[in-house]
Amino acid sequence: MTVGILALQGDFREHAEALQRLGVTSRLVRLPQHLEGLERLIIPGGESTTIGKLMVTYNLLEPLQQRANEHLAIWGTCAGAILMARQIDNAYRDQPRLGIMDIRIRRNTFGRQIDSFEAHIDLPLLGAEPLKGVFIRAPGIESAGPNVEVLGRLSSDGTIVAARQQRLLVTTFHPELAGDDRLHRYFLTL
């Protein structure tokens, strides 16, 4: 199995390392032809405005939207989750986005860079042990449509931090930075 990682900007290398630990081959995706034959794609954290613009520059936006409709499983972490959301409360102007998942998201919901934090997240689907969530200028999922399954919330204020809609998965934190590969393993089952 080969998993694609969108490698336009952001922390794609850390995702590749997590997959390597699981013995899974990854392919860095920078051009439409790199999507050939892929069944799974990770969109990393970074800066959603930059990644969105580069998706347009490298002609990836439409092919990705199309493949999301067909069979591609996509996991967006942080900026990746913003790019997947159907609605961005405080989008930067008309920032390009995929808009493929029925969630409403707010960028930088916890404040600026210095307000980044770590929190233990209960994700029942991964078992009893909570996952360490690393939140870096993280967005918050404000609401989720009826077809979206909420997988985890912050215990402090109930903000949704992980959700799934069929083959689409979003997390507003960075599992690839926590050295706990359970979510990567889970993504491989979608």
Neighbours of 113 (CB within 10 A): 8
Does 89 sit near ligand GLN (CB under 6 A)? no
Residue corresponding to tokens 């699981």: 22
Size of the site for ligand GLN (CB under 6 A): 11
Q: Is 7 or 23 the residue whose CB approaches ligand GLN more closely?
A: 7
Active-site residue flag, 71 = no
The smaller minimum CB distance to ligand GLN, of residues 39 and 50, is found at 50
- Catalytic entry in 14, 15, 34, 174: 174
Residue 87 touching ligand GLN (CB under 6 A) = no
Q: Tokens 């078992």 map to which residue?
A: 127
Strand 101-106 relative to strand 140-144, pairing: antiparallel
Selected range binding ligand GLN among 1-9, 17-25, 43-51, 148-156, rule: CB under 6 A: 43-51
Could you tell me the two tokens for 86? 């159907």
173/186 with CB nearer ligand GLN: 173
Q: Would you give the binding string for ligand GLN spanning residues 114-143, x where CB under 6 A is met?
A: ----------------------xx------
User: Which residues within the stretch 64-83 sit at the binding site for ligand GLN (CB under 6 A)?
Assistant: 78-79, 82
Contact call for residue 46 and ligand GLN (CB under 6 A)? yes
Active site residue 120: no
Specify whether 47 is catalytic: no
Q: Residue 63: enclosing H or E segment and its boundaries?
A: helix 61-70
140 Cβ contact partners less than 8 Å away, ≥ 6 residues apart: 105, 106, 109, 110, 159, 160, 161, 172
Q: How far apart are CA 139 and CA 125, in angstroms?
A: 22
Give Dmax over CA atoms of the chain in angstroms: 43
Pull the structure tokens for residue 148.
Answer: 């979206």
Nearer to ligand GLN, 73 or 88 (CB): 88
Report the nearest approach of ligand GLN to the CB of residue 85 (Å).
Answer: 11
Cβ pair 187, 75 in contact under 8 A: yes
Which spans of this chain sit near ligand GLN (rule: CB under 6 A)?
45-48, 78-79, 82, 107-108, 136-137
> Among all residues, which ones are annotated catalytic?
78, 174, 176
